[in-house]
Amino acid sequence: MTDFDEIIPRAKQAGFIATATAAAITAQFGWHLGKGMLEQLSLAVLLALCTVIVGYALVFAWHAYDRKMRNVGHAAVALFLIGVTVEFLSHTGFTASNRDQTMAQAKLHQTVATHNIGAVDQLSKDVKRLQDRLTMVPIRNAQQAQAAIDNAMAHKFWKLTEGCKATKGPQTRQFCSDYASAIADKAGAVEAETTRAELKQAQAELAKARKEAATSNVDVASAASQGVVLASMMTASETPNQAAVFWAGIGISSLLALFAIAAGGLLNFVAFAFDATKSAAKTIIPPVEDRYAPPPATNGGYNINVNDRSAFKELIEQLKANPKIASCLA
């Protein structure tokens, strides 16, 4: 047995694994095509059976033609061709569906990440704006300003100026100016309290948005990248159009489908064909002992095995008993 002969069983195992893997893929695709449990199970089994037929139909065709069973061989080839068509559709559907799902998921993640980044930018601007508003906060708080207002309204100048509607001199003008400042301080203090509450809420939202942006994944779909690269190679352009990317995706799906078909069907065919050739060689070529055995005796000749001592001694005795040979030996 040569080293090549030892590869044949491994090739058979690889062919079986390839066929089983392809059957699992087509079964999964068939399962997703069905609506109910019965439809899903039926389509899954049917497409998996189709893959098994593709994997071993050429093996049956080889043995059928080798045994002069031409009709059976034709039937096996027809099964193979029909099965290849169905399996090609199944594998292209499976690969295209997975590519679309991967690209859609990556697009969704990218959209979410972009939204999170935009939210962080907007909230950062809001926080900065609110912080800037707090830089002009009055010294007095709302309670202190209200106390100054109450004191002013209780002062004698309040009635004299008719509630600061008309001043009567420098003192009343200063009085009304202080009153107006207290009114402005109260309004500013109330607005500052509202701004602080808004700032606190904005800072909490900003921290949450930053956390979400840090944990969100910006996935880049390998399927999309592969399609763009292949389309760029096809069009010799750094920015291929959408049609080129689409046809590149079709080509990738078709190539994967053809490989799944060839990996099982053709590998099984080659492995079993070489195995049949090896078996035929064992039958045609006799063992070394038979090839080097003495030829059969003809015309009264002698046929002995030189390794058999007793037979060799018997032959010597027969030769001595033969007068013609004995005279020659004398």
> Mind listing the pLDDT tens digit for each residue in 9-55?
888 888 888 888 888 888 887 887 778 888 888 888 888 888 888 88
The answer to whether 50 and 26 have CB atoms below 8 angstroms apart is yes
pLDDT at 220: 46
Is 70 exceeded by the pLDDT of residue 186? yes
Provide the sign of the torsion angle of the four alpha carbons 90, 93, 99, 103, taken in this order.
negative
Alpha-carbon distance of 157 to 166, in angstroms, equals 10
Q: What confidence tens digit (pLDDT) does each residue in 221-255 have?
A: 455 566 666 667 777 777 777 777 667 777 777 77
The rounded distance, in Å, linking the Cα atoms of 221 and 232 is 17
The least confident of 6-10, 103-107, 284-288 is: 284-288
Per residue in 73-130, pLDDT (tens digit) is: 899 889 888 888 888 888 777 776 766 666 666 666 667 767 777 788 888 888 888 8
For 86-90, which contacts have Cβ atoms below 8 Å and span 24 or more sequence positions? 86/47, 86/50, 87/22, 87/26, 87/47, 87/50, 87/51, 87/54, 87/257, 87/260, 87/261, 88/254, 88/257, 88/258, 88/261, 90/25, 90/26, 90/29, 90/30, 90/47, 90/50, 90/51, 90/257
Cβ–Cβ under 8 Å, residues 29 and 97: yes
DSSP state of 267: H
pLDDT range class, residue 291, cuts 50, 70, 90: very low
pTM across the whole model: 0.44
| DSSP state letters, 61-86 | HHHHHHTT-HHHHHHHHHHHHHHHHH
Can you give the C-alpha Rg of the chain in angstroms?
A: 48
pLDDT at 48: 87
